[in-house]
Amino acid sequence: MKSLKEKEIQEKKLKEINKKKKEKAKKLYDTWINNILPFWYKKKNDLNYLRKYFYEGIPISLRGTIWLLCIGNNFSITREYYEIEVKKAM
């Protein structure tokens, strides 16, 4: 059985790890919002630059936006048209 002191040390380490994860996620989010998305159409062709950030991770709250930017909408499909087609498919 672990002693009380060992448990406290383990909890402290976990809190520190979680804090670092949150800081990294915040930094990554800020990078996407401030440095990548505003200049998307200039930076989308620099695959080495983008690859670095894709591998680091895309914040969950931005994944839909970034996915749409990556694949585009060549047919100009609107949300309404999409919903009509989904209903037809069911």
Domains of the chain: which residue ranges?
4-89
Asked if 29 and 61 touch (Cβ cutoff 8 Å), the reply is yes
d(CA 20, CA 14): 10
Dihedral, CA atoms, 40, 43, 48, 49, nearest 10 degrees? -80
Q: CB 44: neighbour CB atoms within 10 A?
A: 13
State pLDDT tens for residues 10-42.
Answer: 999 999 999 999 999 999 999 999 999 999 988
Q: Between residues 53 and 75, which one has the greater pLDDT?
A: 53
The conformation of residue 74, written as its DSSP 8-state character, comes to T
pTM: 0.68
